[in-house]
Structure 1
Amino acid sequence: MPNKNKDFYKTVKSIFSLSDDGFALVDKNGDILYSNIIFNQLLSPLNESEKIDIHNCIKNFTLEKTGDVYNANNTELDIKMDTIKISDSTYYIACVKEKRESNVLENMYEAIIQSLTDGIHAADLSGRIRIYNQAQGEIEGYEKEEVLDKKVESLYKFDTESSLLLKVQREKKSIKNIRQTYYTRDGRNIDVVTSVFPLIYNDQLLGSAAIVRDYSKIYELIEKNIEIQKNITENKTQPSKSNRNKKKDRSIHYNFSDIITEDKKLLEDISWAKLYAKNDSNVLIYGETGTGKELFAQSIHSFSERKNNPFLALNCAAIPETLLESLLFGTTKGAFTGAIDKAGLFEQAEGGTIFLDEINSMPTMLQAKLLRVLEEKMVMRLGDNKYIPIDARIISSCNEDPRDLIKINRFRDDLFFRLSVMYLKIPPLKERKNDIGLLCTYFIDMYNEKYNKNIRDVDEEVRKLFYEYDWPGNVRELRYSIEAAMNLATENCRYIELSDIPGHVINNIEANKRSRVKVETNKAEYIFDKEILLKDNDILKKIEMNEYNKIIDCLVEANGNVAEAARIMGISRQKMHYRLKKYNIK
C-alpha cells in the first residue's frame, strides 16, 4: 500500500483486531493486504510479509461473491464483501464467519415463515420490508425479490399515517382482525383481514409484523359453512326414504334427550329451556367453555315451532368485525370492493333461529347495530337504504359472566336486557361431578361403536382421578380425554386404566390438585387457588395479599357465612362476593 495511505492501513488494522469475525483487506487483484487473527484461523495461517491471493484461500471465490463459500478444509462459511475507495484506489473488505447454529435456526425460521398459508410481512424501524413470505406474494402479486429492502411507501399507496405497519410502530399497540383495502403501486386492489403486532425484543422495538388473510377466501369459507347448515335443515324437513336415512335425519340437530345428566340443577335448566322453546323470545345462555351451550341452543330450536326452518350458528369470536357485520346484515353490490347482492344471516334464517355463539366477543359498535335490528325487526344490508322485515329468533351465548362484562363496558347493558329475556346458566362440570360416571359410560359406548372396541368402564383409580379434577374444559375436555384413552387402550382391554390416560391429561389433573388448598369450617368448606400466591412475588408485598389472608380469616371466623364475613371485614355482601370471585375462593 502506498505510504500516503498508511494512516488508513493502520486504522483498518485497529478496527479488524476488535472484531469477533474474520476480516481481510483485499486489493483489486485479489491480494490480501491485511487479515485479522479470526480470518487466519478460519482459512489458513497467513504470513503478513507475503502476498496471498484470496482466491487460493476460498474455493470458487469471486470478488463479487456474497453468500455461502468454503475454505480448503471444507468448513462452511458465510462471506460478505464490500468496496471502499481511498485516493482513487479501490479496495475490498471481506467479512468471513463460520456458519453456526444460529444460522441454521435462521434458515429454519425462514422455512417456517415461507410455508405458512397466511401472508406474513414485517418492516424494520426505517420502514423497509425485511420479511415477506410466499403467501403474501400470492395475495399482492409481488415476488419476494421485488419487495425486500424496499420502503413501505414505495410498494403501496400508503403514507406514514395510513400504513398499519408504521402505525403500530408509532403506537406500540397491536391491531387485530381489521379489514383493510389498499392498492399496490401498480394499481392492484387488495382486500384482506389483517392483524399487526409490534416486534419487541428485550424491551426494545425492532419493527412490526403483519399476518394477512385474503378477505374473499374467508368470506367464501364462511358462506359455504352457512350454506351447509341451511342444506342440513332443508334435508331434515324432507321425508326419509329408509330407516337408515331416518336415523341420520334424527342426528342432524341435538335434542334435549342428548343432554346426559342426573344433576338437579341441569335438569332444572332443561325444564326451563323446554318452556323457553314454546315461546318466541330471545334466549341468552351463559356457561364456561365446553359446558354444552350450543347443545342447549339446538335443543331449544328442535323443540320449538321453528324446528322445520333454518338453524344458523355463527361464532362471533372467530370472525373479524367487518366480515361479521356483512355476514349478519348482508351486502349490496358496490357497498365495498367486490361486494355483491347477498342476503345476511337474518334474512337467510327467515322463520328459523340464529345462534350467536360467544356474543361477548362482538365489538361494541356492532352490538349497537344488532340492538337496532332486534328492536325494529328489520335489517338494512350494507350499502343499501332499504329496510327488510325479518323473522328470526335469536339465541346467544356467553362464556364469561355478562354482568361482569357490562361493568367493564365490554357488553352493552341494553343489548343484554334485549337478548336475555329468557336466561339460562349452565353449571360447569366441577359443580355436577355426580354426572362424571354417567358421561364416562355414554362416551365409552359412543367410542366403542366408532372404534369397534368392547370397553366397559373406567377403573376405580381413573374414576377417583376424574372426580378429583376440576375439568376447566368441562364436558368437552372429559369427552376427548375418554376418546384419547380409548385410542391408547389395547384390543383386549375391558377397563380404561391410568396407563391409558394421556400424559398431558394426568399432568393437568395433578397440577390442578397441587394448586388447590382447602379451608374447612364447621358450616362450609372453601377451596382457593394457591397459584395466586405464586404468580408474582410482588403480590406477597402488596395490599392484595393482606386482603386475601383477611378474607380467609374472616370466613373461618364467620364459620363460612359470607354475609357475616363481610360484616366482620366492614364491607357490603356484594363487595365480598366480588372479592371471593377475584381471588377464586369457592
Structure 2
Amino acid sequence: MDEQFRLSFLDVWNHSFESIILFNEQGTILSLNRPAARLFSESPSTLNGASIYELIPSEDFKKCLQKKGKTGVSILLGTKQLVANISFFENNELYLLFLKDISQVQLLQHQIQELKKTKQLFNLILDQLEEGISVIDEQGRLLFYNLKAGEMDTLEPEAVRNKRVQDVWNVDENTSTLLTSLRTRRTLHHRETKFSSHGKAITTLARTVPLVLNENVSGAIEILKDITEQKHLSDTILQLQKQGKGDLESSNSFSSQKNNTRFQFEDIIFSSREMAQSVEQARRSARSKSNILIVGETGTGKELFAQSIHNESPRKDKPFIAQNCAALPESLLESLLFGTTAGSFTGAVNRPGLFEQAQGGSLMLDEINSMSINLQAKLLRVIQERKVQRLGSTKVIDIDVRIVATMNEEPLEAIANQRLREDLYYRLGVVNLVIPPLRNRKEDLRVLIDHFITKHADLLDVQVDGVDQDVFHYFMNFGWPGNVRQLEHVIEGCLNLVYDERTIGFNHLPPIFKNKIQQAESTLSHEPLSSFSGSLPEQIERLERVMIEQAMNHAQGNITKAAEQLGISRQNLNYKLKKFQIFF
C-alpha cells in the first residue's frame, strides 16, 4: 500500500505544471520534479545535492527565505520571469519552493497593452477624418462610430458604441443598410438627406461594405461623406444650364433668363391665416423702393419671398442677385460685393461687384448676421451713400439697388450678441417681414404635403394619393426644426421608397425622422395627461409648459440645448420662457 502511494505521489510530483524544489535550510536541493529540471535545462540527478542559491542567485530570494515562507515572489532568471511560492516546514526544517514561468503571460499582457494602444491610436486617426465611419460586428453591434458620423446623425459616439443597430436607430434587417449589407454580403450605395439638430439639411453619400474574413462575414462598414456643398453647386450648375436653354417667355412672365429668379407669390403654398398675413405684407412692400429685412428660421422660404417681392416690384425686368454671406470668408465676400480692380491684390482683375451687377434690380444678402462686423460697417456706408467703390480703385460708381436681407434669428438678439450692427439693422429693416415657422402654422401641412407629392411623384414615376392618417398625425405633432424644406425632403425621401403603395406609411419615413417621432412620443407618454382639465387650448398650454420645464431641467438651464431637444429655435424658446415665466 505504501509502495502504491509512493508511486502515485511520484506521478503527481513529476506531472505537475509547476516546478517544485525541496531543499533544506542550508540551501541543498534534496529533490525536484521534472518541470523544475526542465526549467534549469538539467536532469534531476544532476541537480540533486546542488545549492539552490547557485540556481537562483537573487538577494531578494534569500531575504524571502529568512521570512520562513512567502507567496507571489517575483524572480528574474535570465530572460525568464518567474513567480515563486515558498513554504517552510518547521518540524523537518525543509523548504518547498513552487516556481511558475510567467514569461509567456507577461509577453501576452505586453502585446495586449500594445494592441490597446494601437487601437486607441487608430480611433484617434479615424476621428479626424471628414467621412463618417460606422462599423458593426456579425451580431449587428456597433464596434466603431467616429465623431463625424455622430455629427451627421446628431449622436454622441461614446453613447452608441457596443449597442445594437436596432437600439440606436429605428431600423430592422430590411431598412438598415449596415444590416442589409451584413445579411446579403453586398456592397450598397445610396444618398440620403437628413437634418441636424439646428434644422440644417445635410446630404450624405453612403457606401456600405461587408467585412469578409476567411470567407466568413465578420461585420460591415459604412462610410458617409457629406456632399451638401457639392450638391448645392451641382444644383446651381443645373439651374444655370436650364437658364441657358429654351426661348424667352412672354413679357408678362417672370422668366429666370431675364432676372435670375424662379419664384413668384403664386408659388407660395399655404392655407393658414399667419402665412396669408405674411404674404399680403410682402405683396404690399413689393411696390416700394425701401430695403427689406426678412426674418425666418432655416427652411421657411426666405429666398422664395425675396424672389417673389422682386418679381412683383417695378424692378422685375432688372437683375435679381443673391449671395449667402455665411458661405465665404470676409475678404472674398468683400471683393464679390464691391468688385475688384487689376493690381489691387495678387491675381486681381477688373471685375464688377454684386452691387454693380444688380444695378436697377435687387440684391439679396442671405444670412446677413453671419457677415463680419467690419464688413457690415462698409456695407452700411454703401447703403447710406448709394455709391460703391471697387477694391483698389478711386472711381466712385452710383448704384440703384434695392437690398433684400434675410436672417435666421431674432434681430434684437443678434444685435445684443454683436452679430448685427444696430445702425445697419435700422437701414435694412425699413420693412420688416417675419415668416412664421412651420410648427406655428400646422394648418399648412396638408396643402404642402399634397403639393410636394404632386411635385416629386411625376419625377419619380410613382402614383401616391397622400399620407396615412397616423403619419399625418405624427407630422402634426412633430416640431419641424428644418421647416418647409425639411418637410419637402422627407416627402421626397418617402416617395423614393414607395413601390406599389398608394399612400405614404410609417415604414417609408427616414430612420432619423422616425427616431425623433418616437423620442417625442416617449416624452409625452411619461406625462399624466389625465391630470389636466379645462379647454383644449388650456391643456395644450399646460403641456407645453411641462415639456419646456423638462427640457430645461435636462439641459441644466442651457437654452440652446433645450431648444434643440424641443425642436424649436432658441429665440422661440426665449419667448416661451418669458411667456410662462419659467426661470432657471
Q: Distance in 2 between matches of 1:471 and 1:506?
A: 13
Q: Distance in 1 between matches of 2:234 and 2:389?
A: 22
- Correspondence for 1:501: 509
- Correspondence for 1:253: 262
From 388, 391, 396, give the equivalent of 1:382: 391
> 1:463–1:114: structure 2 CA closer, same or farther, 3 Å change rule?
closer
- Correspondence for 2:3: none
From 502, 518, 532, give the equivalent of 1:510: 518
- Correspondence for 2:78: 48
Letter in 2 for 1:503: P
Whether contact under 8 Å (2:259, 2:319) holds in the other structure is no
1:103 aligns with 2:103: no
1:363 aligns with 2:372: yes
Q: Distance in 2 between matches of 1:285 and 1:576?
A: 19
Letter in 2 for 1:323: L
1:338 aligns with 2:327: no
Within 5 Å, which residues of 2 pair with 1:195-344?
Answer: 239=248, 253-344=262-353
> 1:259–1:285: structure 2 CA closer, same or farther, 3 Å change rule?
same
For the residue of structure 2 that corresponds to 1:317, the secondary structure is: coil
Q: Distance in 2 between matches of 1:577 and 1:114?
A: 40
How far did 1:308 drift?
Answer: 2.5
Q: Distance in 2 between matches of 1:347 and 1:470?
A: 41
Letter in 1 for 2:545: F
TM-score when normalising by structure 1: 0.53
How far did 1:448 drift?
Answer: 0.8
Task: For CA contacts below 8 A with separation 6 or more, give which structure has more relative contact order.
Answer: 2
Q: Distance in 1 between matches of 2:234 and 2:493?
A: 31
How far did 1:510 drift?
Answer: 3.0
Unpaired runs of 5+ in structure 2?
1-74, 81-103, 132-230, 560-573
Q: Distance in 2 between matches of 1:251 and 1:345?
A: 13
Within 5 Å, which residues of 2 pair with 1:528-539?
Answer: 528=545, 530=547, 533=550, 539=556
How far did 1:286 drift?
Answer: 0.6
1:408 aligns with 2:429: no
1:399 aligns with 2:408: yes
Q: Distance in 1 between matches of 2:258 and 2:339?
A: 30
- Correspondence for 2:215: none
> 1:288–1:510: structure 2 CA closer, same or farther, 3 Å change rule?
same
Q: Distance in 1 between matches of 2:79 and 2:282?
A: 95
Q: Distance in 1 between matches of 2:377 and 2:443?
A: 42
- Correspondence for 1:463: 472
- Correspondence for 1:81: none
Whether contact under 8 Å (1:269, 1:425) holds in the other structure is yes
Which structure has the larger Rg?
A: 2
Alignment deviations for residues 523-568 of structure 1 (CA, whole Å, 9 cap, x no partner): 845223646545667958x9x9xxxxxxxxxxxxxxxxxxxxxxxx
> 1:49–1:400: structure 2 CA closer, same or farther, 3 Å change rule?
closer
Unpaired runs of 5+ in structure 1?
1-44, 51-72, 78-94, 117-220, 545-574
From 485, 488, 497, give the equivalent of 1:476: 485
How far did 1:223 drift?
Answer: 12
Q: Distance in 1 between matches of 2:492 and 2:235?
A: 26
Alignment deviations for residues 210-265 of structure 1 (CA, whole Å, 9 cap, x no partner): xxxxxxxxxxx9999999988977879x6259xxx989999951111111101112
How far did 1:98 drift?
Answer: 7.0
Whether contact under 8 Å (2:259, 2:318) holds in the other structure is no
Letter in 2 for 1:301: H
- Correspondence for 1:92: none
How far did 1:309 drift?
Answer: 2.3
How far did 1:364 drift?
Answer: 1.3
How far did 1:323 drift?
Answer: 1.4
Whether contact under 8 Å (2:545, 2:580) holds in the other structure is no
How far did 1:317 drift?
Answer: 1.4
Whether contact under 8 Å (1:229, 1:312) holds in the other structure is no
Letter in 1 for 2:482: G
Whether contact under 8 Å (1:229, 1:310) holds in the other structure is no
> 1:460–1:228: structure 2 CA closer, same or farther, 3 Å change rule?
closer
Whether contact under 8 Å (1:274, 1:303) holds in the other structure is yes
Whether contact under 8 Å (1:455, 1:495) holds in the other structure is yes
For the residue of structure 2 that corresponds to 1:324, the secondary structure is: helix
For the residue of structure 1 that corresponds to 2:340, the secondary structure is: coil
Q: Distance in 2 between matches of 1:346 and 1:226?
A: 21
Letter in 2 for 1:381: R
Q: Distance in 2 between matches of 1:388 and 1:277?
A: 26
Letter in 1 for 2:347: G
For the residue of structure 2 that corresponds to 1:254, the secondary structure is: coil
> 1:115–1:502: structure 2 CA closer, same or farther, 3 Å change rule?
closer
Whether contact under 8 Å (1:329, 1:379) holds in the other structure is yes
Structure 1 segments of 4+ aligned residues over 6 angstroms from their partners:
95-98, 221-236, 245-251, 516-523, 575-578
TM-score when normalising by structure 2: 0.54
> 1:223–1:383: structure 2 CA closer, same or farther, 3 Å change rule?
farther
> 1:357–1:240: structure 2 CA closer, same or farther, 3 Å change rule?
same
Alignment deviations for residues 165-222 of structure 1 (CA, whole Å, 9 cap, x no partner): xxxxxxxxxxxxxxxxxxxxxxxxxxxxxxxxxxxxxxxxxxxxxxxxxxxxxxxx99
How far did 1:288 drift?
Answer: 0.9
- Correspondence for 1:146: none
What RMSD, in angstroms, separates the aligned Cα atoms of the two structures? 4.5
**Percent identity for Structure 1 against Structure 2:** 36
1:580 aligns with 2:579: yes
Whether contact under 8 Å (1:255, 1:298) holds in the other structure is yes
Q: Distance in 2 between matches of 1:312 and 1:582?
A: 44
How far did 1:505 drift?
Answer: 0.6
